[in-house]
Chains A and B, each alone.
Chain A
Amino acid sequence: MQTSNTTAGTEKGLQDLDQIVIRFAGDSGDGMQLTGDQFTRTTALMGNDIATFPDFPAEIRAPAGTLPGVSAFQLRFSSFDIHTPGDAPDVLVAMNPAALKVHLKELRKDGILLLNTASFSALDLKKAKYEKDPRTDGTLDGWRVIEVDLEARTLEALATSKLDNRGKERCKNMYALGILYWMFHRDMAPTEKAIAQKFAKKPELVEANLMAMKAGFAYAETTEIFQTAYRVPPAQMKPGTYRNIMGNQSLCLGLVAAGQKAGLQLFLGSYPITPASDILHQLSTYKHHGVVTFQAEDEIAAVCSAIGASYSGSLGITSTSGPGMALKAEAIGLAVMAELPLVILNVQRAGPSTGMPTKTQQADLLQAMYGRNGECPVAVIAASTPADAFEVGYEAVRIAVKYMLPVIVLSDGYIANGSEPWLLPDPEKLPAIPVKFAPEGQPGTKFMPYARDAQTLARPWAKPGTKGLVHRIGGIEKADVTGNICYEADNHQHMVDTRAQKVANIAADIPPIETIGPRTGDVLVLGWGSTRGAITASTLRLQKDGHKISCACLRFLNPLPNDLGDLMRGFKKVVLPEMNKGQLAMILRAKYLIDVVSFSQVNGQPFKSHDIHAFLQKTLASLGSTRDAGSAKETRR
């Protein structure tokens, strides 16, 4: 909150800030995700830029009050363009001692701690692994602590409610939300509307939740422990219509929009897996768009059914996370051999093996690139923000049907569950996705399933049910053009080269890399996927300080953009932050023989922009880069 342009408010006790980071933390059952979500919606509607980061345990309900059961939701809102949900929170809402224990160390010094004191018995403290009461032993020194017994206050406020005491207590998150709404000068109306909708069938719940929220708001306004409210004026955002969106949602919308544009029936074969299940859930609500969803018996059946659907003329899609990708590998190879369109969505999570299902990582890149037997290239593209996932989903469909090959889309848990305002595209201006099925064959002619398009090398998409097109294909190597089984040496070499060339040809279809900053300088920060926000934020900061630093985020990872080599060669150093052990860095070093510096973090958490900033500062210092105020030109995406 110690922002540069903090000014005195016009009203007594109202202070203007340009950004705030709030973290809600409580038990899995405390409704922290709902509370965070409500704050986010309200704030988006009030015109701030916003970024969110839900961080929850894999357990549905770990034992109440314990450290593993703590669920958190961080959001950052501002009156300027932001790229990440922030590093250290300015405000921490801790619903119990366990939440305090897990998250206090991250709270910015001098930050505000809103602490629920309802459960601080010896047993509660023990569950949170506190030997002494942290409220009295100096643990909380250095923060602005506001203690509220949220349970008692909520029960008081709901004295007239028909709910039982347990039901009343469960409204305490709304009481806390009410307090924050007052503190940050938020409008309660959007939440009133949302809660009325959410519990439409249970009016007593609507009443209790709203009563609790309003009571919290009134409590904050009247009690003396809150001396100031803060206001974050709306951000200057590009004109247009916005919608707050999470990555999994926008990915689905991109696919459906592409299916409509292409005139194709979408077929999703999927098996539930965190953090990709929401894609299956959401696409199953788009039946009115002709979307078929098939919850398969396993990951293999999921991808295989999608291949079968593509074979019969639908657009087959499969959604999963890392462990599921491992199981799908052989079938993806079949799609490569059969040269069928297929979209594979990998919402990456922390691995290996089961790893940490609800934590984020981007360590499946090499798996996507090379994780199959044989020479088995596919297109690989990555979403970089929740809103960007729309375009990436759309692009995946376009590439898959144009080139007749599988496209792997890499997202991750951070993008999937994070949200941001999305400037809605004009549907009319979405790129066309022309699909041409092979026409009926003429009597006396033989259909050639591997006769190729001269430009893309794509083979024809021959729908079963079409007269004169009967043919046989499969996973065995086949002669080009005829598709007949063929074990000849020269033919195999030719087919391996052709399948690689098909993927390489896509590079001609990719726009030049967009950079933030000039295309030459001291340091180029490259990224892909969800590191984009943190990279952008740190780069902009260093540019402001006058450093010759630029950054770019790659959407296409296979093929890589044609201008990447030249771009990298325009800088003294290329730094590549990745949430893996340097996978893209390895590819770039191998392909371009450029000494790309990997900045790796594999701890299940997104990068903090100050960590990237510190690393870049060191890199710049090693180059002898000095601040050159005024010379760096700042451009925004």
Chain B
Amino acid sequence: MTAVPTSPAPLTKKDYKTDQEVRWCPGCGDYSILNAVQGAFAKLGKQLHETVIVSGIGCSSRFPYYMETFGFHTIHGRAPAIATGVKTSNPALDVWVVTGDGDAMSIGGNHFIHAMRRNVGLKILMFNNRIYGLTKGQFSPTSEQGKVTKSSPLGSVDYPFSPIALSLGAGGTFIARGIDVFGPHLEDTICKASAHKGTALVEIYQNCNIFNDGAYKGFTEKEVRDERILYLEHGKPLLFGANKDKGIRFDANFQPQIVTGADLDKAFVWDETAANVAPAMALATMSEGEFPVPVGVFRRREKPNFETGIQAQITAAKSKKKESIRDLLFAGEIWDVS
């Protein structure tokens, strides 16, 4: 590993843009995510040469070409595995993974859960548009059941899963959700993810205006969003509505309930650092139709990092034993022939 000098020079959003023409469809949610990432990186003063963005395959995975950092556009689903190699081999690097719901949840599901489990210092931005965009519109593991697509003309039979719930189950230490059209909130969430030492997941609801247009408009449109979005704020009760006149509490079986009026003070006070995973799991799995959609940080727990543990073993072993190549080879039972 090499020590990377950190002498922050002031950088602006513009400094993170490359000379490459952005090739997403006009109107794609990816543009606003790119903007939020560049905004967050500028705010955090990230140095171009210290930052590596690794992606898989899919529309989202074109992301590295548009960021003036080190970028590695790899193969379908494998970005977390490649990024784990990058980060473990040189923990001083700031390593980001950009992926999508097909890339991370389907073909790369295994690498995703193991990255979460190991707590490698990777920041994973998963663009979830609930559809396969690059292959022109097949259902994805996050598409709602009954989705009519080219590969499911009678409606998909598959059930979707929640990437947040999956990550909670995999032992993730930082799990958050943002939405492409909520730019400032997304930028803020990305900053929080960056501050986290271990694996950080930001699921980003992203509109694919070509193959799944309006997937999220039921809770993102200006007229409805106040009533339909639940902002998770650490240390504050779970309240929503234009006048914050509705809340979420949990019953004895940890089922979420909407409370109003006199019961509003029974709203659950959100603790993103809680050891108990149950409240976050309940929020991640509650019905999108019946309940507001939570955004913000579901979970944030400190736990030693994988790469730190690995490098610590190396450092300790090196200080304990020095061995030349000769000593390495001329070891065990050796004998001389003259």
Residues of A at the B interface (CB closer than 8 Å) are 41, 44-45, 47, 190, 237-244, 253, 256-257, 260-261, 265, 267, 269, 286-292, 294, 296-298, 300-301, 304-314, 316, 330-331, 333-334, 338, 424-425, 427, 430, 463-476, 484-485
Contacts and interface: CB of A to CB of B under 8 A. Distances in A.
B28 interface: no
Contact of B82 (A47, A307, A468): A307
Closest 4 CB pairs of A and B: A308-B85, A474-B73, A305-B85, A287-B317
B72 interface: yes
Interface string B313-325: 1101110111111
Contact of B90 (A256, A316, A427, A464): A464
B49 A468 contact: yes
28 contacts: A41-B333, A190-B333, A241-B335, A241-B336, A242-B334, A244-B333, A253-B329, A260-B325, A288-B318, A298-B110, A301-B78, A301-B81, A301-B114, A304-B78, A305-B82, A308-B81, A308-B89, A309-B86, A312-B86, A313-B90, A427-B325, A469-B70, A470-B68, A472-B64, A473-B71, A473-B73, A474-B73, A475-B73
Interface string B83-123: 11111111011000000000000000011001000000000
B331 A243 contact: yes
Among B48, B110, B334, B338, chain A packs the most CB atoms within 10 A around the CB of B334
Given A472-B73, A474-B73, A241 B85 contact: no
B65 A464 contact: no
Contacts, number: 207
Contacts of A427: 324-326, 329
Nearest to B322: A288
Nearest to B67: A472
A311 B86 contact: yes
B230 interface: no
Contacts of A300: 78, 81, 111
Interface residues of B, number: 62
B337 A237 contact: yes
A338 B74 CA distance: 9
A329 B317 CA distance: 34
Among B48, B88, B318, chain A packs the most CB atoms within 10 A around the CB of B88
B75 to A, nearest CB: 5
A475 B79 CA distance: 12
Contact of B321 (A288, A333, A476): A288
Given A239-B338, A470-B68, A294 B85 contact: yes
Contact of B330 (A288, A334, A424): A424
A243 B330 contact: yes
B323 A465 contact: no
B172 to A, nearest CB: 15
Contacts of B64: 472, 474
Given A287-B313, A290-B314, A307 B49 contact: no
A335 to B, nearest CB: 10
A291 B72 CA distance: 24
Contacts of A267: 85, 88-89
A287 to B, nearest CB: 4
Nearest to B306: A294
B71 A471 contact: yes
Among A267, A430, A469, chain B packs the most CB atoms within 10 A around the CB of A267
B328 A253 contact: yes
B20 interface: yes
A257 B323 CA distance: 11
Among B54, B81, B111, B311, chain A packs the most CB atoms within 10 A around the CB of B81
B9 to A, nearest CB: 11
B8 to A, nearest CB: 13
Given A265-B1, A464-B90, A471-B71, 19 more contacts: A241-B335, A241-B337, A260-B325, A269-B85, A287-B317, A288-B320, A288-B323, A301-B110, A304-B75, A307-B82, A308-B85, A308-B87, A311-B72, A311-B85, A312-B52, A314-B90, A316-B85, A424-B334, A465-B49
Contacts of B333: 41, 44-45, 190, 243-244
Interface in B37-62: 48-50, 52, 54-55
B135 interface: no
Contact of B335 (A45, A257, A304, A305): A45
B4 interface: yes
A180 B81 CA distance: 51
B74 A297 contact: no
A297 B318 contact: no
Contacts of A313: 2, 89-90
Contacts of B323: 288-289
Contacts of A312: 52, 85-86, 89-90, 93
B318 A290 contact: yes
Contacts of B332: 243
Nearest to A261: B325
B85 A470 contact: no
Contacts of A242: 334-337
B114 A474 contact: no
Contacts of B1: 265
A614 to B, nearest CB: 34
Contacts of B20: 472, 484-485
B310 interface: yes
Given A287-B313, A301-B110, A257 B325 contact: yes
Interface in B262-314: 310-311, 313-314
B73 A476 contact: yes
B72 A473 contact: yes
B65 A470 contact: no
A465 B110 contact: no
A330 B111 CA distance: 15
Given A242-B334, A301-B111, A330-B75, A472 B85 contact: no
A600 to B, nearest CB: 35
Nearest to B49: A467
B69 interface: yes
B18 interface: yes
A476 B323 CA distance: 43
Contact of A465 (B75, B90, B331): B90
B52 A309 contact: no
Contacts of A473: 71-73
A333 B49 CA distance: 26
A576 B336 CA distance: 36
A261 B326 CA distance: 12
Given A287-B318, A309-B86, A464-B49, A475 B337 contact: no
Contacts of A309: 85-86, 88-89
Contacts of A306: 85
Nearest to A298: B110
Contacts of B311: 292
Given A238-B337, A289-B323, A292-B310, A464 B52 contact: yes
A301 B2 contact: no
Nearest to A466: B49
Contacts of B69: 470
Nearest to A194: B333
A475 B65 CA distance: 12
Interface string B231-269: 000000000000000000000000000000000000000
B269 to A, nearest CB: 37
A290 B321 CA distance: 11
A474 B74 contact: yes
A240 B337 contact: yes
Among B20, B82, B311, chain A packs the most CB atoms within 10 A around the CB of B82
A290 B317 CA distance: 8
Among A240, A256, A309, chain B packs the most CB atoms within 10 A around the CB of A309
